[in-house]
Structure 1
Amino acid sequence: MSHTILVFDSGVGGLSVLQEIRKLLPGQHYHYLFDNARLPYGELGEAELIRGCVALIEPMVKQLNADIVVIACNTASTLVLPTLRQSLGIPVVGVVPAIKPAAQLSKLHHIGLLATPGTIKREYTHELIRRFAEDCRVELFGSSELVMLAEQKIAGMPIAPQQLQKLLAPITQSTLDVLVLGCTHFPMLKAEIAQALGAGVTLLDSGEAIARRVKELLPADATTAATETAAAYYTAAATETAAAYYTAATISDGLKHSLQQLGFSHINHVS
């Protein structure tokens, strides 16, 4: 039996999470809602961000009769989860920066968190660091510009290496050995970031952990048939459906093409 999974983000970053979920759970009905009219979220006030997210997600859940919602945005996850969990009556999964595994992996006990300015300054983030990285030196790097570079890349536009190098300069000057990609946009630039930082820095994100959590929360009949054998996997993948919804007045042909390449057969505007 297939289930309906709604994944939400401010832009295309949540696609990095959606890809991990689809790998683990083929054959579901996937819907991707991205609020690109208000991008980037890291620069929005908290009250405005919460109000806008709830106003978009609640009616979409009802329209789709969704079984589970994934808030594939670190900035939004730190703020909107309590409200949505109270109002929706279905599981709501958020994204947590991978501070705990980073602290466990670091041999130098020196890690970094690369995220939006909003995620960097929130008390939620600092509590994660206190709980799971007490024995580590933790450096925080905030960037909204990298969000827009990821958007550029998915829209098929070139990224100037010197621009990326400039944005990552504070990290290249550090001696950290593990960097947490604390915005779902940033795994879209993983290859470019890895090249800029070199082999001495391990990059971590939350995509696989979120996929595992979604699998745990869905009924067993949604997961077993698709994962038992390779044949079952391809049968499930063939029955998969995917639709994308955006809030900006329009999207570029390059972004539309990328979404189609990722298997989105329906791409619609919502207000």
Structure 2
Amino acid sequence: MKRVLIFDSGVGGLSVYQEIYAQLPGFQYIYAFDDAAFPYGELLESVLIERTLHIVSLLVERHSIDLVVIACNTASTVVLPSLRKNLTIPVVGVVPAIKPAALISKQKAIGLLATPATVKRDYTNKLVEQFASDCEVFRIGSTRLVEMAEEKLRGKAVSITELAEILHPWQDKVDSIVLGCTHFPLIKQEIAVAFGSPVHIIDSGLAIANRVKALLGEQATASSASILNLTYNSAANNHVAALNRSLQEMQLEAIQSLCYPKI
């Protein structure tokens, strides 16, 4: 049985996990998140690389992982070279879905919704130059949306009013929105309601799932019901009861703590 490690700073990577699991439920999944250092967008790159290498390498060895998914846009733009140098298995990252958004936009006006770090990175600028040079690209960098997604999985309702205020600068300006943070698909429905106007909302989850399938091939025929999919975090397990209920609905076991030090 193939084993896949999915890593993020928080629960955002669960949106990617859900896309992969929907295609390949016969694999074993280990979901790990570094909440002791959350959010990653505010870390020095050297610290981000050090923490990701430590946690990912530990779990790859512990569980004989076949493939790693870095389900965090911020981390993917920074740590992939180091991980690929240190690991002998495939490492898949995520990037904002700017190319498909540019192709689908009729107005040639797209909105990139991401973390403050991602909207500013040179890597993001290069994606825009390469795939959306014929488009006007508006950008909103928001840590608050990351917090909303985290809160939603812990049982707190998302404020449509607050979301609408964040998205207001794009009203009547864009016809496609790129969710450039893996947290944001967790509140995709709320984003659509808050925006109000018809809009294409695009994320990278399905593309990542297709990539994993291409690299690992077809799954075994074993029943997914017999597979224990594990969850790890780096902080102490405080106030996780509501989150564990959400994880259970996604066929993931309750959180185990790695207790990796805080920043």
- Please state which band the TM-score falls in when normalised by the shorter chain: over 0.9
1:248 equivalent in alignment to 2:235: yes
Q: Could you tell me which residue of structure 1 aligns to residue 214 of structure 2?
A: 216
**Is 1:74 aligned to residue 62 of structure 2?**
no
Of stretches 70-79 and 163-172 in structure 1, the one that deviates more from structure 2 is 163-172
| Alignment-derived partner of residue 203 in structure 2 | 205
8 Å CA contact 1:27–1:241 kept in 2: the answer is no
In the alignment, what sits opposite 2:257?
269
1:136 partner amino acid: C
TM-superposed deviation, 1:168: 2.0
Amino acid at match of 2:232: Y
Partner residue in 1 for 2:188: 190
1:138 match: secondary structure: strand
Could you tell me which residue of structure 1 aligns to residue 102 of structure 2? Answer: 103
Does residue 1:167 correspond to 2:166, yes or no? Answer: yes
Residue 15 in structure 1 maps to residue 11 in structure 2: no
Runs of 4+ displaced beyond 6 Å: none
Q: Structure 1 residues 256 and 266 mapped into 2: Cα distance closer, same or farther (>3 Å)? A: closer
Note if contact 2:247-2:254 (Cα within 8 Å) is conserved in structure 1. no
- The aligned amino acid for 1:64 is H
Question: CA–CA distance in 2 between the matches of 1:121 and 1:74?
Answer: 12
Deviation, structure 1 residue 266: 4.3
CA distance in 2: counterparts of 1:267 and 1:188, whole angstroms: 19
Deviation by residue 1:140-179 (Cα, 9 ceiling, x = unmatched): 110011000100000111222222222222233x510000
Q: Which amino acid aligns with 2:250?
A: L
* 2:5–2:67 CA contact under 8 A, matched in 1: yes
Task: Report the Cα distance in structure 2 between the residues aligned to 1:105 and 1:240, rounded to whole angstroms.
Answer: 38
Percent identical: 50
Q: Which residue of 1 aligns with 2:5?
A: 6
Contact 1:120 1:140 in 2 (8 A): yes
1:28-64 per-residue CA deviation (whole Å, 9 max, x = no partner) reads 1100001111111112221211111111111111111
Residues 181-204 of structure 1: per-residue CA shift (max 9 Å, x gap): 000000001010000112421100
Separation in structure 2 between the aligned mates of residue 166 and residue 122 of structure 1, nearest angstrom: 25
Q: Distance in 2 between matches of 1:199 and 1:238?
A: 41
SS at match of 1:13: coil
What is the aligned partner in structure 2 of residue 258 from structure 1?
246
What is the CA–CA distance in structure 2 between the aligned matches of 1:134 and 1:52, rounded to whole Å? 35
Structure 2 CA distance, aligned partners of 1:100 and 1:239?
A: 39
- Unaligned 5+ residue runs, structure 2? none
CA RMSD of aligned residues (A): 1.4
8 Å CA contact retained: 1:242, 1:266:
no
* Matched residue count: 258
Residue equivalent to 1:231: none
1:138 match: 137
Structure 1 stretches lacking a partner, 5+ long:
227-234
Q: Under a length normalisation based on structure 1, what TM-score does the superposition of the two structures give?
A: 0.91
Residue type of the alignment partner of 1:175 = K
Q: Distance in 1 between matches of 2:72 and 2:118?
A: 10
